[in-house]
Amino acid sequence: MEADVRYIEVAIALPVFQTFTYSVPESFADFIATGKRVLVPFGQRRVTGYVFGKRQDSDIAEVKSILDILDEVPLFPSTMVPFFKWTSDYYKYPVGQVVKNALPGGLNVRDYASIALSEKGRHVLDHGRPAGIAADILGQLRSGSILVKDIRKKIDRDIPGALLYSFERSGWITKEWKLAGEKTKARLERFVRLNDNNLPVDHLSKARTKIIDVLSNEGVIPIKKLKETVPTAAALIKSLEIDGYVTAEYRRVFRDPFGDAIEPDRPYILNQEQQKAVSQSVNYLTKGYKTFLLRGVTGSGKTEVYMQIAAEAIKNKLAVLVLVPEIALITQMERRFRARFGECVAVLHSALSAGERFDQWSRIIQGQASIAIGARSAIFAPFRKIGVIIVDEEHDASYKQEGSLRYNARDLATVRAKQNECLALLGSATPSLQSYYNAAIKKFTELTLETRVEQRPLPVIRIVDLRQSRDMRGIRRFITPELQQAMKTSLERGEQILLFLNRRGYANFPVCGACGQPVRCKHCDISLTLHQQANAYRCHYCGFSRAARSKCEYCGSVKIRHLGLGTEKLEALVASIFPKARIARMDRDTTKRKGSILKLLKGLKNQTTDILVGTQMVAKGHDFPDITLVGIICADLSLSFPDFRACERTFQLLAQVAGRAGRGEKPGSVILQTYNPDHFCITAARQQDFIDFYRQEIHFRKALNYPPYSRMIQLKISGKDPRETENHANLLGDLCRRLKTNHLDCYEHLEIMGPIEASLTRVAGRYRWQILLKGLSAKALHEFINQLLSNNPTVFVRHSVKVTIDVDPYFMM
């Protein structure tokens, strides 16, 4: 920004949609820049704002002035301002709060500013006799440096940022940032290389000659590795270095999540299909906006395609953004990208400490990282010029954020690509209906990988009809004789098995043996799930927990029967059938602690796990080469959800989990157990035939006018009082209908469904209602909601009943 800025546009982190104009005092003009945070007066308060750019002039008579600039360097580039505005407008979320959401939480460093008294400050304190708050603050510093937030607590009042700023400029105090959490230290390792000065070697000892030989073959290697061939290498290197033969130096090394140093790899020779996908997309690099949909069967080598396109982007000095659905997969992606690209990779995800996140963010802003890998929020990574945005497993529901800013990172990827005039590459073996439809109508360009790498076959899937399962003694029938036999064979061959059941806990349907009443959550309209290890009943919606030993709430009986099957019970069942097998379980309960996912993955990698039992966590994208058998315990669990995407989700889940089998040298097989063997989504999953599934499902979507043939906005209404919530929902419904009738010319095709009670009628003590707005175009739908909002602002902000706008909703229950 030029130095003579007088007015700036500021987005404020409060529930307001517009941006505001503030003036910049002359003393601040040199420090102001787009992307920095400022402290501004707003009504009676002082709030944080984000500088969006310069404003020519102000039409408002009295413009307030900013109080402070909170950052030394900008947190985002000016090219992201239109992106924030678009996101705010589309998802109906206040623009300042969009920015707040986008920036990693750990960035709130202001509170961690540690200030100390300078010599000059001490002099002022002793002789100048400052008054009021200045005396209080400086007085606190007499005994040493202290965090700003701690001073605030001690003197029990707010400290104006501008005041500290002026202290700093007067040279009274010094400031430094103390971040919560440790900064990551680079790991260094000692490497050696041969000097190319051709010194004579004939007089050298055997061991020294050997070292020289190894180095001339391998180039630069770690001393650690050299020790494998010459155990005394460490000592010898020293003397070789003194004599001028070799140079030893510290180099930065990256470790994979398992703690092993990542060795640089080379690009694979691409097969024909991969080659075609790469060259087709690379052709369009730097030529403007375009979205590709890469549909590649499981194990077809999509990651290699991503990496070679990324390499091309980097050659063109453009950044690469890689989105991955979950943390467990980020580590796998990070490992592969680091092996190929080394230093220039940054990672962004919630498992990093605040300090680590700040570091990664800064590396991107400062141009030290040109590749960022992260979960959905990484769509906001602060790159200036992007070459390609890659969204791996683009169908995955975790790209949709529920709560606060309800966005879909996959959709935002195409928006950001359009604004940055770059490529978006969406990859999946089982694309979302929406994306494949976009490819079908040529909005996206399809790229395909029909075969696995090295011609490996897709696994053979056998369907087992659970209705025929004869053993009716409760849950035991879920390990059918067919599955048991196949498991036995695999174990005898020393191969690994994956068992998939999309439900955690021990039993999800505890029922009173005396009166038949289910054990329900106090706050939600749903059964509790027994978790045996925790010895408690838990609610999977609100987290409510109660002791496993409690009595029936209706009749007081202690005889509770634990019906229903979860992964915990399945694990116990498998252990009783195969007592010698080493079993591990991967679900949300076993992966809460930091590092636990890695431990589970390591068990598979090191062959210390024979059978892995897990929920959808195991279905996603992992590359475990030694799994040859996948057992799907009950394929139907997600099929009966009251949600128009139930079939899509089920198909994706089944095809994905099946795709974990036979990825290595040995071929794989899958046993798929189901109560609906003839359902099209089961038969299509069995063939691993996405196109077949798409044809049938899209037909149904069209008939019922569901997305992708329509767009939806859901209004979620919730409140603690059942009557009040219902009334408010009805009021909102009336307002919607009235708006439609008054503007029938614009909204003729807009459907208003509801208000109806949500299928989960109560969660966490709140009664839930919903209204679904369905329209043929996003435009009409957005105009409608804008008008609704501006006509009735108070209806959307009420304390007792909350109304949330969910654009392109995913979780419909």
Count CB neighbours of 340 within 10 A: 20
Burial of 53 (0-12, 13-18, 19+ CB in 10 A): middle
Own/partner pairs for 489-492, CB < 8 Å, 24+ apart? 490/628, 490/629, 491/578, 491/581, 491/610, 491/611
Is residue 778 within 8 A of residue 796, CB to CB? The reply is no
In the list 302, 504, 740, 768, the residue contacting ligand ADP (rule: CB under 6 A) is 302
Q: Among residue numbers 595 through 654, which ones bind ligand ADP (CB under 6 A)?
A: 623
Output 36 or 336, the one with its CB closest to ligand ADP: 336
In the block, tokens 């787009």 appear at: 34
In the list 300, 414, 590, 725, the residue contacting ligand ADP (rule: CB under 6 A) is 300
Is residue 389 within 8 A of residue 423, CB to CB? The reply is yes
In the list 285, 507, 552, 632, the residue contacting Zn ion (rule: CB under 5 A) is 552
Q: Going by DSSP bridges, is the β-strand pair 345-348/371-374 parallel, antiparallel, or unpaired?
A: parallel
If contact means CB under 5 to 8 A according to the sort of partner, which of Zn ion, ligand ADP, none does residue 353 touch?
A: none
Output 226 or 330, the one with its CB closest to ligand ADP: 330
Output 274 or 673, the one with its CB closest to ligand ADP: 274
Q: Among residue numbers 489 through 528, which ones bind Zn ion (CB under 5 A)?
A: 512, 514-515, 517, 521, 523-524
If contact means CB under 5 to 8 A according to the sort of partner, which of Zn ion, ligand ADP, none does residue 334 touch?
A: none
Output 61 or 269, the one with its CB closest to ligand ADP: 269
Stretch that binds Zn ion, among 311-319, 413-421, 462-470, 538-546 (CB under 5 A): 538-546
Under the binding rule (CB under 5 A), the answer on residue 720 touching Zn ion is no
Stretch that binds ligand ADP, among 172-180, 294-302, 399-407, 697-705 (CB under 6 A): 294-302
Stretch that binds ligand ADP, among 281-289, 295-303, 349-357, 726-734 (CB under 6 A): 295-303
In the list 304, 312, 568, 808, the residue contacting ligand ADP (rule: CB under 6 A) is 304
Stretch that binds ligand ADP, among 262-270, 539-547, 700-708, 733-741 (CB under 6 A): 262-270
558 φ, ψ (degrees, to nearest 5): -100, 0
Closest approach of ligand ADP to the CB of residue 654, in Å: 15
**CA 582 to each of CA 361, 480, 485, 575, 633: distance values in angstroms, whole numbers, following the listed order:** 41, 20, 17, 8, 19
Pairwise CA distance, residues 657 & 365, whole Å: 38
Closest approach of ligand ADP to the CB of residue 294, in Å: 9
Closest approach of ligand ADP to the CB of residue 336, in Å: 8
Closest approach of ligand ADP to the CB of residue 343, in Å: 22
Output 398 or 787, the one with its CB closest to ligand ADP: 398
Pairwise CA distance, residues 68 & 40, whole Å: 7
Pairwise CA distance, residues 585 & 589, whole Å: 9
Is residue 801 within 8 A of residue 726, CB to CB? The reply is no
Under the binding rule (CB under 6 A), the answer on residue 662 touching ligand ADP is no
Burial of 84 (0-12, 13-18, 19+ CB in 10 A): buried
Stretch that binds ligand ADP, among 105-113, 301-309, 417-425, 510-518 (CB under 6 A): 301-309
Output 271 or 532, the one with its CB closest to ligand ADP: 271
Distance of CA 165 to the CA centre of its chain: 37
Burial of 633 (0-12, 13-18, 19+ CB in 10 A): buried
In the list 271, 484, 532, 545, the residue contacting ligand ADP (rule: CB under 6 A) is 271
3-state secondary structure of 388: strand
- Helical packing angle, 690-704 and 680-687, nearest 10°: 150
> Contacts with ligand ADP: how many residues (CB under 6 A)?
16
In the list 34, 298, 496, 714, the residue contacting ligand ADP (rule: CB under 6 A) is 298
Closest approach of ligand ADP to the CB of residue 389, in Å: 17
Stretch that binds ligand ADP, among 43-51, 263-271, 566-574, 627-635 (CB under 6 A): 263-271
Distance of CA 644 to the CA centre of its chain: 24
Under the binding rule (CB under 5 A), the answer on residue 557 touching Zn ion is yes
Closest approach of Zn ion to the CB of residue 508, in Å: 13
692 φ, ψ (degrees, to nearest 5): -60, -45
Pairwise CA distance, residues 435 & 455, whole Å: 27
Q: Which residues contact 611 (CB under 8 A, 6 or more apart)?
A: 487, 491, 496, 497, 498, 499, 574, 578, 581, 582, 583, 584
Q: Among residue numbers 410 through 469, which ones bind ligand ADP (CB under 6 A)?
A: 453-454
Q: Which residues contact 528 (CB under 8 A, 6 or more apart)?
A: 510, 519, 520, 521, 537, 538, 539, 544, 546
Name the residues that contact ligand ADP, by CB under 6 A. Answer: 268-271, 274, 296, 298-304, 453-454, 623
Name the residues that contact Zn ion, by CB under 5 A. Answer: 512, 514-515, 517, 521, 523-524, 539, 541-542, 544, 552, 554-555, 557
